Structure 1
Amino acid sequence: MDNSSADGPVKNPTYMADIRQFFTDYDIAHMGPKGIDLSSYDGVKKNAPTIYIHTRQPDGDMPPDPYPKWTADMSATFYNWIMNGYPMGAAVAAAPSVRALSERATGRVRKNVDSLSPDEVTALTNAFKGLMAIDPGTNGSYYALAGIHGLPQTNCLHHEPRFNPWHREYLRVFEDALRSVAGCGDVTIPYWDMSTPVPALLKQAPFDQYVVPVNLGPGYGANYTTTRYPDATIASNLQENDFFGNTATSLQQTRFGHYGVDGYQDFSIAAHDGGHMSVGDTMADQNVASFDPIFWFYHCNLDRLWWKWQTLVGATTLAGFKSTMSSSDQYWLSPPFSTLPATPAWSVTADQTIEQTDISYDTLDTGAEAAAPPQLENRVGSIDAERSFTIRSAAPVSVRVKDIDRLNIPGSFQVHLLADGQTIATRAFFQPATPRNCANCRDHGLINVNFRVDQDKILDRKLTVEITVPSQHEAGTEFPLSQAGNPTINARLLLEDE
């Protein structure tokens, strides 16, 4: 791809804004077996002199014929990148507006639940009723499908790299089941745009609640019925759990990152967890959250936001997605780590979920945002000493609560950062009522929770941290930090990776 300026070579190129665009899927696949990784910053930087020699014009021999060679401007841009010290930089939000993405849609188009036509509402209603009427012992029943995420299977992947791919495939599996109901072959899962109140349709049967037709065991019993909070409470909770702030920050990230560290992954999962805890006691409990019909509309919106981020940073192909990651972070996109566990087994792997060629959304914008794409950033807490970086005078402070032992905490919880006794930030963490019974929870027992706060909110003030478990009304919601593994605090200014 020729990403050079129309006016000639880019004088001050960065990897994320310019250089990664020069390598096609074919280039990456062709050079990988030769020991040259073109899919990541690390690999391109390591091999930069060799790449330049083989691609510079007019004598370059790469890419091989019949593939087009680099232009002189591309070679000069790459040379400038080397001479400037291999700056990482930040991605530039895709143009034109991401609204245009829906125009390329073929196959399934998922719509805002508030924009469904009467015929679409009828078909969706029949599809949900059809699944709910199937015997719970049948794999395609509503009970069996919801039970993949929570009880009785509890094999969902949260707070780890495959989180988004797993849920994307889960939505497809559920959507396929809806479409298998007679007369519902064109149904798609609508999304609930969280910037608007709970849609009226979701307060009507069969979307308002679900009565589990089997005994779920201790704590739930027979005929467990899903519940939600009143609209005003949901709206207040979303603000308290900073759902919208975390969502907006996630969409500004250049890098995919890690949960509990940085990047899209950290902020998007924080938003996910906060949203779950905001909607109701059922949605706040990983054991039963997916039984509430609103779960599917909620997660459809989260998938829409992930696809929006992919579009903004140029990560809608596997090669583009990998370019937002270091080479060592890409392991989960290859066997055997790319498996997405479920029963019945899914044949799709994590890497195969990255490119959604037959699913799109009617719009990727939310009703609460401006039409202009966000300014993307690449802020980090630490960086290799050989790289260049900037500390801005108004740089936010990253406050990390490290090594919380989540296994001792009975259910989903909130971590609060207080200044002079007043809460200035809250992050939610979504998990089952008994996390020790969950294999994935045990594998990720120690977790970090990050706050990004403005300096003026914390400087010269007494800071403290609290953990609360909202579901523990009778015993008291505050949970002693000493019983959560005695976590520690790490606070630092964020660097801008250049």
Structure 2
Amino acid sequence: MTDTAVDDAVVADPTYMADIRLFFRQIDIDHMAAKGLDLGSYNGVKRNALAIYAHTAPTGDMPPDAASKWSTNRRQTFLNWIINKYPIGMATPQASVAGSSRLVAPFRTRKNVNNLTNDEKQTLKTAFRGLMDRNPANEDSYFALAGIHGLPQAWCSHHIDQYNPWHRVYLKAFEDALRSIPGCEDVTLPYWDISDPIPGLLSEEPFAHYTLPIDPGLTAQPPQPGRFFPYTTQRNDAATIKKLLAGFDVLDDIETSNSQTEWGRYDENGYQDFSIQAHDGGHLSVGPTMAAQEVAAFDPAFWFFHCNLDRLWLKWQTRVQAMTLAGFKTTITGDVSWLEAPLNGLPPFSTTSDQSIDLGIAYEQDPAESIVAFENLAGHMEAGRSFRISKAAPISVRVKGIARLNIPGSFVVNLLADGKPIAKRAFFQPNAPRSCPTCALKALVNIDFRIDLRKIVDRKLSVKIEVPSQTEMGILFPLSEAGNPTINARLLLADH
């Protein structure tokens, strides 16, 4: 966020994401909030634009400190934005430099698992063994920590606004437990970049598998004794994982999420929608254990996989200038109440969603990383705005209104053209979603595909849903039992 008002050049066609949001500091946001004006979000600035323009006059009271008063050029840029009907636009990509635009100086840095030294590998093994050897009744044992995500605690934080913040805090809690093992005080979780093959280290003990020491279903609510006991984690081989990641287009979803200028909402658009789709596809690719929410975190690969997803979110935050709470809120065009008390809780952790925006953790940088341009494509736009349709833009195909509570476990949605599969996406959920309070909040879900027009034009589209875990009854799930979802196809519009 900008610290002082300089005599910057007039921008003839400013947008909110590239220009306007950066005009407001936290001190400005707090100052005007007391006067009933929201400067921290697109909707707030748009709604109060004329009042903001008046308050920023040379004799106005915003910014509150005289040294930061807006220049004539800055006010003209803001006026141009009003005249042009408040375009959202696209952010200007920032280089992913560790610590840039951060309020919290990183105090630990996580590495790519393939870059660990031999000593670091041995320390990591010692830390994992130490947690696994602890009494499962201890709150800081491997069994208890993994059981937060699945059985017996089953804190489901998926397909909601808190998904990324909750998992970030969860990773830190697990990493802190690793550091409690003697001799491992400085250990950090490494990440597995899933664009690379699953690392060989994960085939070594104690990462290859984990055998549950007691039945996790005994104390679950409702109890599920014997369902996952006795149980040893299972994982696909490297070739199968690679094939499934490609089949679910996980890397494409990651690339799309990385190019979004807005945070968005799951099932709508923006970074979070495609990030969660990539998460779900990755879970079902890694293997039977990772595909089952009840036991997914017991597979040691879970931590390496989720560490990478957190790295990708942090990279996006840096590029879109969202490393502070104020900066992050500017990327949200909808509800931000989940970042504010009393709705900001991330149970069972004490850290809240607003505090998760920057936990002081960094990831080692890829020196060859390129800066990808942002996009802001949508299936609809306000009639007062002008827009364009790019020839290169894919078609947005949405399978809409899937009654996920009727489906027993994680499932796969296949999109077919003339009866032949052209794309598929995975959805990660518990085997009994009706008993999950979080799942019940979003009983109907959508699955989004971005498809090359040439793959679907003049062809008959259809859908089939499969439940991979239901091998005894047959994996094909009737669409009638899934709420008879519809297929929606839309051109993607770009804010002009």
- Post-superposition CA distance 1:265-318 (Å, at most 9, x none): 110000000000000000000000000011001000000000011111111111
Residue matched to 1:228:
235
Does 2:412 correspond to 1:406? no
Q: Is the 8 A contact 2:157 2:438 kept in 1?
A: yes
Q: Distance in 1 between matches of 2:101 and 2:54?
A: 40
Kept after mapping to 2: 8 A contact 1:4/1:10: no
Out of 312, 316, 333, the position equivalent to 1:309 is 316
Map 1:166-181 → 2, pairs under 5 A: 166-181=166-181
Residue identity in the other structure for 1:273: D
Q: Which residue of 1 aligns with 2:363?
A: 361
Aligned pair in 2 of structure 1 residues 30, 6: CA closer, same or farther (>3 Å)? closer
Residue 387 of structure 1 and its aligned partner are, at CA, apart by 2.8
Of 294, 297, 305, the residue aligned with 2:301 is 294
Aligned length: 486
Q: Does the 8 Å CA contact 1:257/1:263 hold for their aligned counterparts?
A: yes
User: Please, which moves more after superposition, 5-14 or 113-122?
Assistant: 5-14
Q: Report how far residue 5 of structure 1 moved.
A: 10
Whole-angstrom CA distance in 1 between matches of 2:266 and 2:11: 34
Please tell me whether the aligned partners of residues 156 and 341 of structure 1 are also in contact (alpha carbons under 8 angstroms).
no
The residue that corresponds to 2:46 in the other structure is 45
- Which deviates further from its counterpart, 73-82 or 196-205? 73-82
Q: Deviations over 1:110-133 (max 9, x none)?
A: 001111122211211111111111
- The alpha carbon displacement at 1:496 in A equals 1.3
Write the distance in 2 (CA, Å) between the matches of 1:124 and 1:29: 44
Between stretches 216-225 and 168-177, larger displacement belongs to 216-225
Counterpart-to-counterpart distance in 2, 1:378 and 1:481: 32
Q: Which residue of 1 aligns with 2:222?
A: none
In structure 2, what is the Cα distance between the partners aligned to 1:415 and 1:305?
Answer: 25
After superposition, where does 1:13-412 map in structure 2 within 5 Å? Answer: 13-56=14-57, 58-65=58-65, 68-94=68-94, 97-99=95-97, 101=99, 106-217=106-217, 218=225, 220-326=227-333, 328-342=334-348, 346-356=349-359, 358-363=360-365, 371-412=369-410
Instruction: Please name the residue that 2:483 is paired with.
Output: 485
Where 1:98 maps in the other structure, the secondary structure is coil
In the TM superposition, residue 377 of structure 1 has moved relative to its aligned partner by 0.8
- What SS does the aligned partner of 2:78 have? helix
Question: Which amino acid in structure 2 is aligned with residue 230 of structure 1?
Answer: D
**2:69 partner amino acid:** K
Q: 1:337 to 1:411 in 2, by over 3 A?
A: same
Are the counterparts in 1 of residues 150 and 297 from structure 2 also a CA contact under 8 Å?
yes
User: Is the Cα–Cα contact under 8 Å of residues 101 and 323 in structure 2 kept in the other structure?
Assistant: no
**How big is each residue's C-alpha offset from its partner over 1:126-155, in whole Å with a ceiling of 9 and x where there is no partner?**
111111111111111100000000001111
Amino acid at match of 1:237: L
Q: Which runs of 5+ in 1 are unaligned?
A: none
C-alpha separation between the residues in 1 aligned to 2:312 and 2:4? 26
SS at match of 1:447: strand
C-alpha distance after superposition, 1:192-226 (max 9, x if no partner): 11111111111111111100101234563433100
TM-score (norm 2): 0.94
Structure 1 counterpart of 2:241, which letter?
I
* Residue identity in the other structure for 1:113: V
Question: Are residues 397 and 5 of structure 1, via their aligned partners in 2, closer, same or farther at CA, if it must alter by over 3 Å?
Answer: farther
Gaps of 5+ in 2: 218-224
CA shift digits 1:383-421 (9 cap, x unpaired):
222333222344322111111111111211111111112
Counterpart amino acid of residue 436 in structure 2: C
User: Percent of counterpart pairs with the same letter?
Assistant: 57
Residue 221 of structure 2 aligns with which residue? none
> Matched residues in 2 for 1:305 and 1:317: separation?
17
3-state SS of the aligned residue for 2:425? Answer: strand
> Equivalent residue of 2:114, what SS?
helix
Counterpart contact for 1:251–1:309, Cα < 8 Å: yes
Q: Secondary structure at the match of 1:452?
A: strand
Displaced runs of 4+ in structure 1, greater than 4 A? 2-7, 99-105
User: Is the partner of 2:481 in helix, strand or coil?
Assistant: helix
Question: What SS class does the counterpart of residue 465 from structure 1 fall into?
Answer: strand
Q: Which amino acid aligns with 1:376?
A: F
Paired position in structure 2 for 1:462: 460
Give the partner amino acid of 1:263: G
Asked whether the equivalents of residues 102 and 362 of structure 1 are also in contact (C-alpha less than 8 Å), the reply is no
Amino acid in the other structure paired with 1:349: T
TM-score by length of 1: 0.93
> Could you say what secondary structure the match of 1:399 adopts?
strand
Deviation at 1:67, TM superposition (A): 5.0
Q: Give the whole-Å Cα distance in 2 for the aligned partners of 1:4 and 1:371.
A: 32
- Bigger drift between 97-106 and 229-238 goes to 97-106
Name 1:442's counterpart in structure 2. 440
2:335 partner letter: D
User: 1:443-480, CA deviations, whole angstroms, 9 ceiling, x for partnerless residues?
Assistant: 22211111111211111111111111112223221111
- Give, in whole Å, the separation in 1 of the partners of 2:154 and 2:447: 23
Q: Report SS of the residue matched to 2:120.
A: helix
2:220 corresponds in structure 1 to: none
Report the Cα offset of residue 60 of structure 1. Answer: 4.2
Would the alpha carbon gap of residues 194 and 351 (structure 1) be closer, same or farther in structure 2, given more than 3 Å must change? same
Q: 1:168 deviation in Å?
A: 0.4
User: Post-superposition shift, 1:2?
Assistant: 7.0
Distance 1:200 1:274 in 2: 21
Shift of residue 73, structure 1, vs aligned partner: 2.3
The range that moved more, 438-447 or 194-203, is: 438-447
Structure 2 SS opposite 1:129: helix
